[in-house]
Structure 1
Amino acid sequence: MSEQLPTLPVTFRPGRTRAVLLTAAAAIFVVITTVALMLEKLSPGERLSFVFTAALMSGVLAMLARVKVVADESGVTVVNIATRRRLDWAEILQVNLRPGDPWVFLNLSDGTSLPALGIQPGIAKQHAIADARALRALAEARSIREPGKHEG
């Protein structure tokens, strides 16, 4: 089973989901702003509040679209909705994407589990499975643990 490892650095992100979110963000901003400008009875302050609300809603969708997992020679950076965490390869014990999981979970050497929203089966299930397998293969190939040294 000599699966070809991806060339590093590699970025995993939910491409279709990201495209849907960014398109929706742009559409919401344009529609609400257009409505605000077309309504003649609105004061300038009210129009500004419409535009501000549209920008806020678009910003939330853009934050949802920023999720990714970046693997490079020294480790993995997991960018979730509001957080970013850098991991060395040795910290990743297991990469899991079980049936029904909303995204990949990384089991870490400190006993915790980190969700990696950048690989999620939502719209593109087969793509997410392939990405999870690639990240798992990278983690297994890169995390060299010393013999006799036990994690725990």
Structure 2
Amino acid sequence: MSAPAPQIPALPVTFRPTRTRIVLLTVGAVMFAVITAVALLLEKLSAGERSSFIFTALVFLGVLALLSRPKVVADEQGVTVVNLTRTRQLAWAEILRVNLRPGDPWVFLDLSDGTSLPVLGIQPGIARAHAISDARALRALAESRGTHPDED
């Protein structure tokens, strides 16, 4: 019952939840357009009220853009994990294991310092098969490029 050996992608490679990103940015743009149009079409609103409508629309768009930010970039030197507000660069040797267990909202990296790093750039939300494929590809890269704990 073993899965087929994953194809190791050519570097550099970027993993990101493309469908989720499209949905978030589309909804954000539509919300911004609708709220701005409403603000401009309501005649009884003062300039300050219109500004607050447009500012609120910008805040919604900004939050959705922030939620669409996660990605993982793998290159010859290692992996760059871009989550919502933080970016972390890891050497291949720092990554001990790439995990995507059933029910996990995203991939987790087990690191050589004993911690685990969430990787929001690979998440099975909308495109489960794509996320599983990306997780397998990242795992294959980590196993082929990293050092293993029993090697010194």
Asked whether the 8 Å contact 2:96–2:148 carries over to 1, the reply is: no
Q: CA deviation at 1:145?
A: 4.7
2:52 paired residue among 49, 54, 77: 49
Q: Which residue of 2 aligns with 1:143?
A: 146
Counterparts of 1:3-152 in structure 2, within 5 Å, are 3-145=6-148, 148-149=151-152
- Aligned residue type for 1:71: A
Aligned residues: 149
Q: CA deviation at 1:71?
A: 0.3
Q: Which consecutive unaligned segments of at least 5 residues does structure 2 have?
A: none
- Aligned residue type for 2:27: A
For the residue of structure 2 that corresponds to 1:105, the secondary structure is strand
Runs of 4+ that moved beyond 4 A: 145-148
For the residue of structure 2 that corresponds to 1:42, the secondary structure is coil
Q: CA deviation at 1:77?
A: 0.3
Q: Percent of aligned positions with the same letter in both sequences?
A: 70
Q: CA deviation at 1:146?
A: 8.0
TM-score by length of 2: 0.94
CA distance in 2, matches of 1:14, 1:74: 23
CA distance in 1, matches of 2:69, 2:93: 25
For the residue of structure 2 that corresponds to 1:93, the secondary structure is strand
RMSD: 1.3
Q: CA deviation at 1:50?
A: 0.5
- Aligned residue type for 2:8: L
Q: Deviations over 1:44-76 (max 9, x none)?
A: 111011000000110000000010000000000
Q: CA deviation at 1:80?
A: 0.4
Q: Which consecutive unaligned segments of at least 5 residues does structure 1 have?
A: none
